[in-house]
Structure 1
Amino acid sequence: MKFVIAPDSFKGSLTAKEVALAIKKGISKIFPTANFELVPMADGGEGTVQSLVDATAGKIISKEVVGPLGSKVVANYGLLGNSKTAVIEMAEASGIGYINKTTANPLITTTFGTGQLIIDALDHDVDEIILGIGGSATNDGGAGMAQAIGVHLLDSKGQELTFGGAALLQLAKIDTNNLDSRLNNVKIVIASDVNNPLTGKKGASAVFGPQKGATPEMVQQLDKSLVHYSKMLQKYLHKDVATLPGAGAAGGLGAGLLAFTTAKMEHGIDIVVNYSNLKSKVQDADFIITGEGGIDFQTQYGKTPFGVAKAAKSIAPNAPVIALAGYVGKGVDVLYQNNVMDAIFSTVSGAKTLDRAFKDSQADIAQTSENIARLIKKLTH
């Protein structure tokens, strides 16, 4: 019997690989001679680097870069097992984890560090970069990233713009003569499930700015800056990216990547399914086990368990897909439609505090997996 175990992380407690190992531990008690294929997964957000590194036997690279507030931080990114593909989470360099209520100021936060990670990946001679752009602290339209990869953003006096979204209102000229030429030969894939445009009521500033500390006045100022920025991009690069779906992701980093590189956007889970070779691994599977910290009706919108289930059913339609979650929320019935998922189980053993649930998660996942395996044995023997 073959089990393909392809979960996401249980955020706050276990990585995707640790979840997979806990599931295997539980099932192995009942099926000690079974064949197990462990495929750590992610959906393009937090944990994508670690999941793809684990899935491909790659390695983690650390780099000191400029953080969102201008101070130095140490950011990690992954080099996959083929040594030719880098996977970067922009949050490692420019993420909201580097700010707090006191320091949050999207007028000045920058994506410069994310650009530095791109350059470091190029220095490792990669020919492909996967870039997850969730969890940003920034609202600079990717301007800092652009400056890091060689673009000069100049004011009316020919001076380089300072960091941050507010400074974009002073943008008078875009000079791409020093843009790193290696980017012409590298495929860049943006992992994002955000469809917001760059500007307007559904744009980066209005929708995501408040999460990063923007007051209503700041939102108006930042949106005005990004409108001007988009006009300059059109004037100097002849690219109209403002209204493209996803341009507003990560405070407009999506727009910057689409404007200054050859990047294309894809759903995060689709990227991970592809690079982990999940479909080939489920071809002869008897059962597919997936999971995430929480599962509810929103899981159908690009989250890992639903993406895994769809990919698995497209290849092995008769293999049951079972999902585990610490929290099973409202509306999960929708996940059973069209024979996508076959069963969803909560792993939490009894009433407990969130802190206790985190501490017990490994043992609880193993126990739930063992219980599922006992049922499978009863039904198949």
Structure 2
Amino acid sequence: MSSLRVVVAPDSFKGSLSAAEVASCIADGVHAARPEAVVTCLPMADGGEGTLDALLAAWGVTAHTVDTVDAIGRPRRARWATSPDGRTGVVELAEASGLPHVSDAPPQPLHASTRGTGEVARTVLDAGVEEVLVCLGGSASTDGGAGILTGLGARLLDDDGTEVPDGGEGLAWVDRLDLDGLHPRARQVRWRLAVDVTNPLVGEHGAAHVFGHQKGASDGDAAYLDDALGRWADLLERETGVPTRDLPGAGAAGGVPAALVAVLGAETEEGAQLVAEAVGLPEALADAGLVFTGEGSFDSQSVRGKVADGIARLAAASPAKPPVVVLAGQVLLPAPLAWEAGITAAFSIAPGPVELDDLLHRTPARLTDLAAQVTNLVV
């Protein structure tokens, strides 16, 4: 029997397994069914949480750490990385300014900030990199990226010349942006932003109204933050000439791209595609006979720029055009929509009616079992 070449490129199962752990379970299932199979594991991420880990694994480098602050100003130690050649520095916003790190405190939707991420980025610039990759996702704040600018040395001033407080609330009072203290290399390097959404900065589909509630914002808070982000966008355009209100993806991570695109000339990129290229997925797919991916919930968002969507498109464009199978905690996307997106099949790891805690405990075994069963179908 000829060797089956299998690519295993899942996202994490949040709250259960990392992407690397998911990949290992699936690989075990493949080998249980076809011991001779050649399996390539490429843990993936969509540009948000977990992207740093995916790149560390792909590059074979070790993370650095730096003292900074979390989204509500408490001391925190965050990781960052550089590529093997030292040219690219990687900052994952969730490391410093992520929502899980402030889950032990009452939500502060108006005051939470990305300043800590800016302080990490300052350290990365000090390391002499030529470009900075900022992985967006999992943010606890809605500050339009203002905190990152202040972490890099900028000052946001009101009409009296007084610095406004951190957080989205302060954006409603900003009258002037003082960049005199900005890190000297901030505008000399290339900035790339890995995003996993296409939402604009403001409006019905913007950062505050769509994502504010998961950060503790009430309807009133979301409306206030949306107005504040609109004022921020107007100021940025006045100061830099760059419009960001309707920029696709500007609503990611509480509006972070708005500040970085306008002030630092950052480029937004689809996170899943960026990670796929970094880990060598297109090359791995060239002679694959089967592809596994996976995530906690396979739903309508999964085929709109998430990991499964990116893998399906790359597989369709590869010479081998291998079938793509999704293994997920739950499968909510109807089969015709999955097929339309290039997904061959999607299976839930749930064996039947089961409590969530029980399913989380059984996730590794279920992933391995399902992978074995699917592999046995491949001739």
Which residue is equivalent to 2:368? 366
Matched residues in 1 for 2:295 and 2:218: separation? 33
Matched, 1:133 2:136: yes
Match of 2:253 in 1: 250
Which whole-Å CA distance do the structure 1 matches of 2:301 and 2:197 have between them? 14
1:15 lines up with 2:18 in the alignment: yes
**1:246-294 CA distance string (max 9 Å, x none):** 2232222121111221211111111111111110111122222222222
Q: In the TM superposition, what is the alpha-carbon distance from 1:310 to its structure 2 partner? A: 1.4
After TM superposition, the structure 1 = structure 2 runs for residues 205-284 of structure 1, keeping only pairs within 5 Å, are 205-284=208-287
Q: Name the residue aligned to 1:57.
A: 60
**Equivalent AA in structure 2 for residue 360 of structure 1:** R
In structure 2, C-alpha distance between the alignment counterparts of 1:318 and 1:205, rounded to whole Å: 40
In structure 2, relative to structure 1, the CA distance for the partners of 1:202 and 1:324 (3 Å cut) is: closer
Name the counterpart of 1:6.
9
Show the counterpart of 1:66.
69
Going from structure 1 to structure 2, the CA distance change for 1:336 and 1:113 (only over 3 Å counts) comes to same
**Counterpart AA for 1:270:** Q
Q: Is 1:298 paired with 2:301?
A: yes
**Is structure 2 residue 179 aligned with structure 1 residue 176?**
yes
Q: Matched residues in 1 for 2:70 and 2:361: separation?
A: 31
* Deviation of 1:113 (Å): 0.6
Aligned alpha-carbon RMSD (Å): 2.2
Deviates more, 1:11-20 or 1:22-31: 22-31
3-state DSSP of counterpart to 1:265: strand
Kindly tell me the number of residue pairs found equivalent between the two proteins: 376
SS in structure 1 of the partner of residue 186 of structure 2 = helix
Q: Which amino acid aligns with 1:344?
A: A
Offset of residue 71 of structure 1: 1.4
Query: Are 1:191 and 2:194 counterparts?
Result: yes
1:90 matched to 2:93? The reply is yes
Separation in 2, partners of 1:283, 1:180? 43
Distance 2:59 2:104 in 1: 38
Structure 1, unmatched stretches of 5+, are: none
In structure 2, how many angstroms separate the alpha carbons of the residues matched to 1:83 and 1:266? 21
Are 1:45 and 2:48 matched, yes or no? yes
The letter of the residue matching 1:199 is V
- 8 A contact 2:80–2:91 mirrored in 1: yes
CA distance, structure 2, for counterparts of residue 346 and residue 216 of structure 1 = 34
Structure 1 position 198, deviation (Å):
2.5
1:99 paired with 2:129, answer no
Moved more, 6-15 or 328-337: 328-337
Report the secondary structure of 1:289's partner residue: strand
Letter in structure 2 aligned against 1:302: G
Query: Any conservation in 1 of the 2:68–2:78 contact (CA below 8 Å)?
Result: yes
1:294-347: CA deviations, max 9, x gaps?
A: 223432111212211210220134422222222222413211137x22232333
SS at match of 2:63: strand
1:101 Cα deviation from its structure 2 partner = 8.9
Is 1:288 the equivalent of 2:321?
no
- Counterpart Cα distance in 1 of 2:301 and 2:88: 30
Over 3 Å counting, the alpha-carbon distance change for 1:367 and 1:204 in structure 2 is: closer
- Specify whether residues 147 and 289 from structure 1 end up closer, same or farther in structure 2 by C-alpha distance, changes over 3 A only: same
Measure the CA separation in 2 of the matches of 1:247 and 1:120.
24
TM-score using structure 2 length: 0.91
User: Match of 1:352?
Assistant: 354
More moved, 74-83 vs 278-287: 74-83
Residue 343 of structure 1 aligns with an amino acid whose one-letter code is: A
SS at match of 2:314: helix
Task: Tell me the CA shift for residue 102 of structure 1.
Answer: 6.0
SS at match of 1:242: coil
Secondary structure at the residue paired with 1:52? helix
TM-score normalized by the length of structure 1:
0.91
Structure 1 letter corresponding to 2:182: L
* Cα drift, residue 187 of structure 1: 2.1
Of residues 40-49 and 170-179 in structure 1, the stretch that sits farther from structure 2 once superposed is 170-179
Alignment CA distance shift 1:32-1:102 (3 Å): closer
Match for residue 25 of structure 1 among 24, 28, 33: 28
1:203-229 CA-to-partner distances (Å, cap 9, x unmatched) read 323333333222333334333332332
**Residues 1:112 and 2:120 are matched in the alignment:** no
Letter of the 1:18 partner, please give it. E
Rounded Cα–Cα distance in structure 1 between residues aligned with 2:297 and 2:208: 28
The percent of aligned pairs where both chains have the same amino acid is 36
Distance (Å, rounded) in 1 between the aligned partners of 2:352 and 2:168: 47
Query: What letter corresponds to residue 355 of structure 1 in structure 2?
Result: D
1:348 counterpart SS class: coil
Residues 111 and 138, structure 1, Cα contact 8 Å, conserved in 2: yes
State the shift of 1:350 in Å: 4.5
**For residues 170 and 320 of structure 1, what CA distance do their matches in structure 2 show?**
53
Say whether the 8 Å CA contact 2:13–2:19 is kept in structure 1: yes
**What is the Cα deviation at residue 199 of structure 1?**
2.7
